[in-house]
């Protein structure tokens, strides 16, 4: 089989995988074989008028909307995830117009622009993996930022040590929320080792017979080994499985604990 | 990794779930919250067996066929949602990656053990449906399929 035959076979096969339909006025959905993790295909729509040079490729907001099935939508608009999305879109010249991803093109650029747009969408949806990998470096930073924006400054202390029982500063609480009947001891847990340390801390606090309510915010609870998590769960009060996907629930919980909830 | 077996998924779907008064306003009515070019409605519901469920509704303001009505289950030991069902519009194509079926129509996603075992998202399998053609119809279908009980002080919606 010659290289020319292979080329022709591939070009024909790939070409048949991409089709365009007409729906409504000057709206052309582009159907491609590329899918997200859940089997749903990327939504790509061409908008433009026959004979005109200026066209737009848009996802009609579907890509970021889709991510909101698994992640808090607001978490895509701040911190590391926002930076990653902005960088990807910037690299491909794509605008984010209130959640709609758009690429303005000349009609002559259509075929290459479709691939560019698809590649950008693929990288944006990879944010679900980035949230576990790239965001790791900023987990503690994100954790602290979330508390700073939710808890009044006068009620929040980072890196707290009990003044009577822990003068050597060994059993540190990542964040203390005070001025309530029972203080909240909040821990950021990003690894097995940290989970073991916090388990020991909680056991130690119990021996001190102090009153507190513990809250654990995991970077990704699924990454903690079963045995470590089981021992931790025996002594922990409230747990949130992921800072990224549970952000709205964490804020809601803290507001209720602070007595500042809207509900 | 298999988080829930098919039997556990069926049991959770069959668990009766009481809808609160005003659920429709919250989920698809005037109490929906706007986020950029999307609107969303969210409700937490405790089932008869004490399990925690979340209803999540999403719809695009650019394309009314781009919507989703989702039933999420929150296991007791975590806050990570397991998506049991998802009722989608027909704004996009879908492919069942194991069976190779590809379609563009209104469709319902089902959590399955076999897709979890292959490492896909639990609700990757989907089937075409003719039971609804808009968001309101999808919510009605969702309520009926997932064993939700209507609030006693509200009239039943007209199907």
Task: Give residue-wise pLDDT tens across range A64-97.
Answer: 999 988 887 887 887 777 888 999 999 999 999 9
Q: What is the band of B156 on the pLDDT scale with cuts at 50, 70, 90?
A: low
Residues 6+ apart with CB under 8 A from B92: A40, A41, A42, A43, A62, B66, B104
Q: pLDDT-derived band of residue A121, with 50, 70 and 90 as boundaries?
A: very high
Strand partners, A19: A31
Q: Which of A93, A158, A154 is nearest to A120 (CA)?
A: A93
Helix then strand then coil, % of chain A, to nearest 5 = 45, 20, 30
Instruction: Fill in the DSSP letter of residue A259.
Output: T
Q: Output the average pLDDT for chain A.
A: 89
> Which of B32, B74, B78 best probes binding to A when mutated, by most A CB atoms within 10 angstroms?
B78
Full DSSP string of B25-87? HHHHSTTPEEETTEEEEEEEEEBTTS-EEEEEEEEESS-TT-EEEEEEEE-TT----EEEEEE
Higher pLDDT pick, A139 / A21: A21
Are A98 and B68 an interchain contact pair (Cβ–Cβ within 8 Å)? no
Cβ pair A69:B56 closer than 8 A: yes
Above 80 in pLDDT, residue A194?
Answer: yes
Mean pLDDT of A33-57: 93
> What whole-number distance in Å separates Cα of residue A35 and Cα of residue A19?
15
* Model pLDDT for residues B62-98, shown as the tens digit of each residue: 999 999 999 999 887 666 789 999 999 999 999 999 9
- Report the C-alpha gap between B50 and B33 in whole angstroms: 28
Tokens encoding B95: 């492919």
The answer to whether A95 touches A102, Cβ cutoff 8 Å, is yes
With CB atoms and an 8 Å threshold, state whether B78 touches A221: yes
| Residues of B in Cβ contact (< 8 Å) with A41 | 92-95
Quick one: average pLDDT of A180-185? 91
CA atoms within 13 A on the CB side of A201: 27
Mean pLDDT in residue range B10-34: 96
- Nearest one of B37, B135, B33 to A64, comparing CA atoms: B37
Instruction: Report how far residue B19's alpha carbon sits from residue A127's, in angstroms, rounded to the nearest whole number.
Output: 34
pLDDT, tens only, A197-242? 999 999 999 999 999 999 999 988 887 888 899 999 999 999 998 8
């Amino acid at each position: 089989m010659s290289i020319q035959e292979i080329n022709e076979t591939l070009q024909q096969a790939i070409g048949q995988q991409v089709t365009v339909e007409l729906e409504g006025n000057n709206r052309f959905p582009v159907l491609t074989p590329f899918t997200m993790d859940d089997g749903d295909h990327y939504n790509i729509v061409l908008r433009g008028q026959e004979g005109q040079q200026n066209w737009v490729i848009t996802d009609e907001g579907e890509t970021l909307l889709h991510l909101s099935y698994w992640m808090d939508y607001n978490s895509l608009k701040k911190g590391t995830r926002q930076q990653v999305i902005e960088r990807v879109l910037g690299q491909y010249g794509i605008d984010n117009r209130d959640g709609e991803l758009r690429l303005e093109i000349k009609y002559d650029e259509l075929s290459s622009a479709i691939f560019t747009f698809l590649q950008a969408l693929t990288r944006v949806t990879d944010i679900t993996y980035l949230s576990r990998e790239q965001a790791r470096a900023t987990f503690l930073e994100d954790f602290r930022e979330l508390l700073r924006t939710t808890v009044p400054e006068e009620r929040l202390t980072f890196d707290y040590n009990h003044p009577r029982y822990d003068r050597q500063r060994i059993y540190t609480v990542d964040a203390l929320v005070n001025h309530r009947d029972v203080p909240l001891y909040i821990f950021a847990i990003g690894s097995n080792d940290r989970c073991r340390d916090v388990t020991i801390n909680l056991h130690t606090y119990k021996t001190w017979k102090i009153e507190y309510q513990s809250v654990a915010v995991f970077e990704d609870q699924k990454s903690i080994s079963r045995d470590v998590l089981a021992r931790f769960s025996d002594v922990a009060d409230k747990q949130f499985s992921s800072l990224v996907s549970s952000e709205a629930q964490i804020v809601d919980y803290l507001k209720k604990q602070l007595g500042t909830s809207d509900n | 990794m298999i988080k829930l077996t098919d039997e556990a998924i069926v049991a959770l779907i069959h668990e009766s779930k009481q809808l609160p008064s005003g659920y429709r306003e919250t989920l698809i009515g005037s109490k929906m919250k706007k986020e950029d070019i999307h609107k969303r409605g969210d409700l937490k519901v405790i089932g008869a067996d004490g399990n925690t469920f979340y209803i999540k509704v999403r719809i695009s303001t650019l394309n009314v066929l781009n919507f989703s009505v989702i039933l999420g289950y929150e296991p007791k030991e975590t806050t990570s949602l397991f998506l049991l069902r998802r009722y989608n519009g027909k704004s996009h194509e879908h492919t069942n990656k194991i069976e190779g079926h590809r379609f563009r129509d209104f469709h319902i996603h089902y959590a399955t053990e076999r897709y979890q075992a292959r490492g896909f998202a639990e609700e990757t399998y989907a089937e075409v449906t003719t039971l609804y053609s808009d968001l309101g119809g999808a919510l009605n279908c969702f309520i009926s399929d997932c064993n939700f009980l209507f609030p006693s002080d509200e009239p039943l919606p007209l199907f």
